[in-house]
């Protein structure tokens, strides 16, 4: 995506509006994929009985529910009321609250662990969110987050963004946000975490496979079940959209296994401790 000077306020408003309306599409399209990194994420923050965990950008509550099943004491927070409604429907025993990742509504040193499953990518000020995680952690507490690996590894992004580059425009009028793949670089994860005061950051790759029932599944999901990439796709002309769809369909064909498309979509998992 085109590098522009980020506008955190405009980008937050754009993301917030988007996540109000894609709850079902996101759940149906991304849930089975992003859930593959949940257990490694919870392991990285030592989630277990009695551990006080804050799940930031909880979305449909997948991580919060998994932590609760480990008998942790969990709170999930998200800025999207419709997402929280879905989370409460799925996990009625978990405490979910509306709130902003960049200004968490909790006192200092409240939690033993803070986790964020792919939420960092949707924030206008990701470093501020990690600083807030540091603030609400007790000394010795742990933070963990997941993001997507580089597009050449998380090939669904490479296929779609490459098709847009060849058949459409990347310089569309969307509110500029932070670079989408910034934290795909393990060194950047370590640099930011240590710069905020965390110690001993560890960064690993979590293998994941994204399965689609049809050759058009990837294009449809990116158009209907995302915010930033969907905005990029919808800003193209109808002719460009059709050309992009056609190229994406042909590109995913090589990942077809019998009646299923299987796309490699690894995650980057970073974790660190508060001194």
Q: What is the pLDDT of residues 42-87, one digit of tens each?
A: 999 999 999 999 999 999 999 999 999 999 999 999 999 999 999 9
Is the model more confident about 194 or about 225? 194
Distance CA 223, CA 217 (A): 10
| Local structure of residue 6 (DSSP, 8 states) | -
pLDDT one-digit tens code per residue, 201-229: 999 999 999 999 999 999 999 998 888 89
Instruction: Give which of 206, 221, 272 is closest to 31, Cα–Cα.
Output: 221
Is the model more confident about 89 or about 28? 89
Kind and range of the H or E run holding 210: strand 209-212
Distance CA 118, CA 37 (A): 10
Distance CA 148, CA 99 (A): 24
- pLDDT bracket for residue 2 (50, 70, 90): very low
């Amino acid at each position: 995506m085109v590098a522009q000077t980020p506008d955190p306020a405009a980008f937050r408003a754009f993301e917030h509006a988007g996540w109000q309306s894609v709850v079902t599409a996101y759940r149906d399209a991304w849930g089975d994929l992003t859930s593959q990194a949940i257990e490694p994420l919870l392991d990285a923050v030592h989630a277990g009985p009695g551990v006080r965990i804050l799940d930031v950008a909880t979305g449909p509550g997948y991580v919060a529910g998994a932590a609760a099943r480990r008998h942790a004491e969990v709170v999930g927070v998200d800025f999207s009321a419709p997402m929280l409604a879905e989370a409460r429907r799925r996990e009625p025993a978990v405490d979910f609250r509306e709130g902003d990742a960049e200004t968490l509504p909790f006192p200092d040193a409240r939690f033993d662990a803070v986790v964020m499953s792919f939420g960092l990518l949707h924030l206008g000020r990701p470093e501020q969110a990690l600083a807030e995680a540091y603030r609400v952690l007790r000394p010795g507490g742990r933070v963990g987050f997941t993001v997507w690996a580089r597009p050449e590894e998380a090939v669904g992004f490479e296929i779609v963004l490459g098709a847009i580059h060849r058949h459409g425009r990347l310089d569309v009028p969307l509110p500029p946000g932070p670079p989408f793949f910034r934290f795909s670089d393990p060194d950047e994860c370590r640099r930011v975490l240590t710069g905020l005061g965390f110690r001993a950051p560890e960064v690993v790759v979590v293998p994941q496979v994204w399965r689609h029932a049809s050759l058009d599944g990837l294009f449809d999901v990116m158009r209907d079940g995302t915010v930033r990439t969907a905005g990029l796709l919808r800003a193209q002309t109808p002719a460009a959209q059709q050309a992009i769809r056609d190229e994406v369909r042909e590109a995913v064909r090589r990942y077809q296994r019998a009646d299923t498309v299987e796309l490699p979509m690894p995650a980057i998992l970073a974790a660190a401790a508060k001194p």
